[in-house]
């Protein structure tokens, strides 16, 4: 592997010129953008950057939702030797200011006028970059903004000197050069800028393609943020390398509609997406007419038995194989049609996937392969294989990646996927790369088959007053497999036992209240009603009955609103900011330990 990302893009654009690279919803329909068209825009924007005097090593902010222009701008930035600095669109001006003070961007790109205004607010306090490009068309340009279409036009109008310089810059980019600076969202503390090289990314791309069967015949429906390293590597650079096409969902709410329109063959997701899909299926079964409900429950039972047999590497008995064929024809085929009808598999990353949810979909003939990694590891360390997923694990390591388990149970890794370091933070870099291994901060173990199991974040492990260690994510993932539970937060460090904050599925809450003959009028009243709380506690008890007593939740409280990114309780990748949640609900949590706690 001796290429850079822009060089690989150029090679593919030459080979696949007239084939679709992107599909984007415009004027009510998905329309293709060919490799040839994308390459022309990459070249034009690269020349525009040179006109703006962007030099190798300069940082260029990219504040945008996922869309074709994101990838085009990214490759153009790298082709002139600059670094792409992706920014989550959900970040506030104060969040963006912290990043800008650290990386000193020389140019910025925003998706919309509203996003541009956030940047303009930040730039009033800091040295302004040389330009601010806005991807959307707009009738009245805010002062200091330039439309994307105009930037491309300026690049196309550039003279021969600029064109020659663009070719020279592209040829000068080396695999060991920094390609991007990604600021980790972080569940605690200030974000750190992770420097990843072209070699980091492409070594990971090539390793994943050895074990994940993605080809030029595939079509990926993308809905995760390209700001996150998972979608960036697997949903952009890997698809680019394989020659696959990428379609972009309009938004999270339109994913079912977009799947039916574009018929994807592969999709990337995070556990929250699969939890919601699982919940919708369960609720649909509950509301179905009696005959359809019995049929669906029978088919799900068949699926569970099939999944169990396959997990044990057993050949299906003839009777079960026949039942599976029947269940596929009567039930599962309809589910797959709702997923677009051509989906070969999902890939899950970003957080642990519940074993129960993985097995549920697998039993229905929908495979979710879970992987594991971090921003600092480009990102994939391990991933399950499509042919034989091991649910509950993140699978074997990808080729070229080494992993060992430290004495304290921490997962450490080394290989070409390890970051160059944290930008402007040499001390923090030396700590995580101590001994030549990257220390992930995650606790886990390897099973006899070489599959990696991730328990929890090292810093998130709960140590009870009795000295027992408990992994909160394990319990939280278990509880949310109940369709009546939307989110869960486990607490109990240095306490005599663990408790949980439960966010109900609000669509089901009123039905549950009626069944319990609770006449409260509002959600706030319902979540405080003793009979509703007791009903939910019984659901929790059913889920945790198989666990050791010390690991079980002893009390719960119900919340009247979901944890959210907007409230500061979740990171952009939907991971819980545990310290913030604990502080916000401190009084409620303390109350669970009173009166006999």
pLDDT digits (tens, 9 = 90+) for 361-416: 999 999 999 999 999 999 999 999 999 999 999 999 999 999 999 999 999 999 99
Domain boundaries, the chain: 5-196, 270-458, 461-591
User: How many DSSP H helices and E strands does the chain contain?
Assistant: 23, 25
Separation CA 508–CA 506 (nearest Å):
5
Does residue 2 have a pLDDT over 60? no
Q: Note the pLDDT of residue 189.
A: 61
pLDDT digits (tens, 9 = 90+) for 501-534: 999 999 889 888 888 888 777 999 999 999 999 9
- Check whether 188 has a pLDDT greater than 80: no
User: Which CATH class for the 5-196 domain?
Assistant: alpha beta
Catalogue the E-assigned strands of 68-160: 83-87, 107-110, 132-134, 145-147
Q: How many Å apart are CA 167 and CA 34, to the nearest integer?
A: 22
pLDDT in tens, 468-498: 889 999 999 999 999 999 999 999 988 899 9
Q: What is the mean pLDDT of the chain?
A: 93
What CATH fold (topology level) applies to the domain 461-591? GMP Synthetase; Chain A, domain 3 (3.30.300)
pLDDT of amino acid 574: 79
Please check whether the two domains, 270-458 and 461-591, share a CATH topology.
no
Strand ordering across the sheet containing 485-491: 485-491, 498-504, 553-558
Query: Could you give the CA distance from residue 382 to residue 395 in angstroms, rounded to a whole number?
Result: 6
* Residue range 318-326: mean pLDDT, rounded: 94
Is the pLDDT at 581 greater than 80, yes or no? yes
**Mean pLDDT confidence for 549-577:** 90
Segment holding 482, helix H or strand E? none
CA 233 to chain centre: 11
Strands (E), 415-572: 421-422, 438-446, 452-457, 462-463, 469-470, 485-491, 498-504, 553-558
Q: What pLDDT is recorded for position 521?
A: 74
What local confidence, expressed as pLDDT, does residue 327 receive? Answer: 95
> What CATH class is the domain 270-458?
alpha beta
pLDDT of 186 higher than 60: no
Q: Kindly report the number of other CB atoms within 10 A of residue 223's CB atom.
A: 23
CA-CA-CA-CA dihedral for 373, 375, 377, 382, to nearest 10: 10
Once rounded to an integer, what is the mean pLDDT over residues 549-569?
A: 93
* Predicted confidence (pLDDT) at residue 320 exceeds the cutoff of 80: yes
- pLDDT at 77 > cutoff 80: yes
Asked whether residue 25 carries a pLDDT value surpassing 90, the answer given is yes
- Average pLDDT, integer, range 68-91: 97
Tens of pLDDT, residues 342-351 = 999 999 998 8
Helix (H, G, I), strand (E, B) or coil at 496: coil
Banded pLDDT at 596 (limits 50, 70, 90) = low
Cβ–Cβ < 8 Å for 369, 266: no
Q: What is the DSSP letter of 570?
A: B
């Amino acid at each position: 592997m001796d290429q850079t990302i822009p060089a690989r893009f150029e090679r593919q654009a030459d080979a696949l010129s007239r084939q679709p690279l992107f599909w984007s919803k415009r004027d009510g329909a998905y329309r293709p953008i060919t490799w040839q068209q994308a390459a022309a825009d990459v070249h034009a924007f690269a020349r525009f950057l040179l006109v703006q005097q962007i030099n190798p090593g300069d940082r260029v902010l990219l504040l945008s939702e996922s869309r074709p222009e994101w990838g085009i701008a990214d490759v153009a930035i790298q082709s002139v030797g600059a670094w792409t600095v992706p920014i989550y669109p959900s970040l506030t001006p104060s969040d963006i200011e912290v990043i800008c003070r650290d990386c000193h961007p020389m140019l910025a790109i925003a998706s919309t006028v509203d996003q541009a205004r956030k940047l303009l607010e930040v730039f009033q306090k800091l040295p302004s970059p040389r330009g601010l490009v806005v991807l959307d068309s707009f009738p009245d340009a805010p002062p200091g903004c330039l439309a994307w279409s105009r930037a491309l036009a300026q690049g196309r109008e550039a003279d021969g000197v600029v064109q020659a310089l663009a070719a020279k810059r592209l040829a000068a980019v080396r695999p060991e050069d920094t390609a991007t600076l990604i600021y980790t969202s972080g569940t605690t503390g200030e974000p750190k800028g992770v420097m990843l090289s072209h070699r980091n990314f492409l070594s990971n791309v090539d390793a994943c393609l050895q074990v994940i069967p993605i080809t030029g015949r595939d079509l990926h429906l993308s809905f995760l943020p390209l700001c996150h390293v998972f979608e960036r590597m697997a949903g952009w650079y890997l698809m680019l390398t394989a020659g696959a096409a990428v379609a972009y969902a309009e938004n999270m709410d339109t994913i079912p509609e977009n799947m039916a329109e574009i018929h994807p063959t592969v999709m990337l997701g995070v556990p929250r997406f699969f939890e919601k899909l699982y919940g919708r299926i369960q609720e649909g079964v509950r509301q179905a007419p009696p005959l359809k409900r019995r049929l669906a429950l029978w088919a799900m039972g068949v699926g569970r038995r099939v999944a169990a047999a396959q997990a044990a590497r057993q050949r299906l008995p003839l009777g079960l194989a026949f039942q599976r064929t029947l269940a596929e024809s009567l039930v599962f085929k309809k589910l797959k049609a709702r997923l677009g009808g051509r989906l070969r598999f999902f890939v899950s990353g970003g957080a642990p996937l519940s074993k129960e949810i993985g097995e549920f979909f697998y039993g229905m003939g929908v495979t979710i392969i879970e992987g594991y990694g971090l921003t600092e590891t480009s990102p994939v360390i391990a991933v399950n294989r499509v042919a034989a997923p091991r649910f509950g694990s993140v699978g074997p390591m990808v080729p070229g990646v080494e992993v060992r388990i430290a004495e304290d149970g921490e997962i450490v890794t080394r290989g070409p996927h390890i970051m160059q370091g944290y930008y402007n933070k040499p001390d923090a870099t030396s700590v995580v790369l101590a001994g030549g291994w990257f220390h992930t901060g995650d606790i886990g173990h390897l099973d006899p088959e070489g599959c990696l199991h991730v328990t929890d974040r090292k810093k998130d492990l709960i140590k009870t007053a009795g000295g027992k260690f408990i992994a909160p994510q394990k319990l939280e993932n278990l509880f949310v497999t109940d369709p009546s539970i939307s989110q869960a937060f486990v607490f109990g460090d240095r306490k005599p036992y663990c408790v949980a904050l439960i966010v109900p599925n609000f669509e089901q809450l009123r039905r549950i209240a009626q069944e319990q003959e609770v006449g409260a009028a509002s959600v706030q009243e319902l979540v405080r009603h003793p009979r509703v709380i007791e009903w939910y506690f019984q659901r929790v008890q059913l889920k945790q009955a198989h666990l050791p007593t010390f690991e079980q939740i002893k009390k719960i409280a119900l919340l009247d609103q979901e944890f959210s990114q907007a409230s500061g309780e979740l990171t952009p990748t939907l991971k819980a900011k545990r310290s913030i949640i604990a502080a916000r609900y401190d009084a409620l949590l303390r109350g669970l330990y009173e009166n006999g706690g």
